[in-house]
């Protein structure tokens, strides 16, 4: 068995394509109308109940699943997404104990989307601030070898 990706059941395919392709900058690899495959394993399917052949119970916010994206410029992405109508922020950027800053929001179909700065960026930031390789490894919880490779 080989894992092939994540499929989102969506209510409006055109709006989903606009959001993930145009706003989140994910490349569409295949568009079959009711099914769209983006690069990196993300897919969207409209009319999912018809596809599986039975009605599915509605969902408001499952809150038990999230899509995870990494970026190099978190502030510009947060600013961009705050301007998108219909996006509900769960929280704006906050820093976790390991140094990574993230924000989360609900997409149009109420799936949680997390946007985080890459951990490589976090480690490089600590090194640029003068932390040693060992201090950076301890703070980020990465092996010393990983941090050394960033130099």
118 pLDDT more than 80: yes
Q: What is the pLDDT of residue 88?
A: 93
Whole-angstrom distance, CA of residue 4 vs CA of residue 46: 19
User: For the chain, what percent of residues have pLDDT higher than 90?
Assistant: 74
| Arithmetic mean of pLDDT over the chain | 90
143 pLDDT more than 70: yes
Q: What is the pLDDT of residue 47?
A: 83
User: How would you label 5-15 residue by residue, b for 16+ Cβ within 10 Å and e otherwise?
Assistant: eeebbbeebee
Cβ-Cβ contacts under 8 Å for 99 (sequence gap 6 or more): 122, 125, 126, 139, 140
| From 1-5, 9-13, 50-54, the region with the lowest mean pLDDT | 50-54
Q: What is the pLDDT of residue 32?
A: 93
Q: Hey, which residues does 113 pair with through a beta bridge?
A: 67, 105
Q: What is the pLDDT of residue 56?
A: 62
Average of per-residue pLDDT across 54-75: 79
Q: What is the pLDDT of residue 39?
A: 94
Whole-angstrom distance, CA of residue 124 vs CA of residue 131: 10
Q: What is the pLDDT of residue 52?
A: 67
């Amino acid at each position: 068995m080989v894992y092939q990706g994540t499929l989102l059941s969506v209510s409006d395919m055109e709006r989903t394509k606009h959001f993930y392709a145009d706003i989140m900058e994910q490349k569409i690899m295949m568009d079959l109308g009711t099914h769209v495959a983006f690069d990196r394993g993300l897919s969207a399917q409209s009319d999912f109940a018809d596809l599986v052949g039975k009605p599915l119970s509605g969902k408001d916010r499952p809150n038990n699943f999230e899509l995870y994206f990494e970026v190099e410029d978190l502030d510009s992405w947060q600013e961009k997404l705050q301007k998108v109508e219909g996006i509900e922020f769960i929280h704006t950027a906050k820093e976790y104990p390991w140094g990574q800053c993230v924000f989360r929001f609900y997409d149009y179909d109420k799936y949680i989307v997390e946007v985080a700065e890459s951990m490589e960026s976090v480690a490089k930031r600590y090194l640029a601030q003068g932390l040693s390789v060992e201090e950076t490894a301890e703070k980020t919880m990465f092996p010393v070898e990983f941090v050394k490779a960033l130099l």
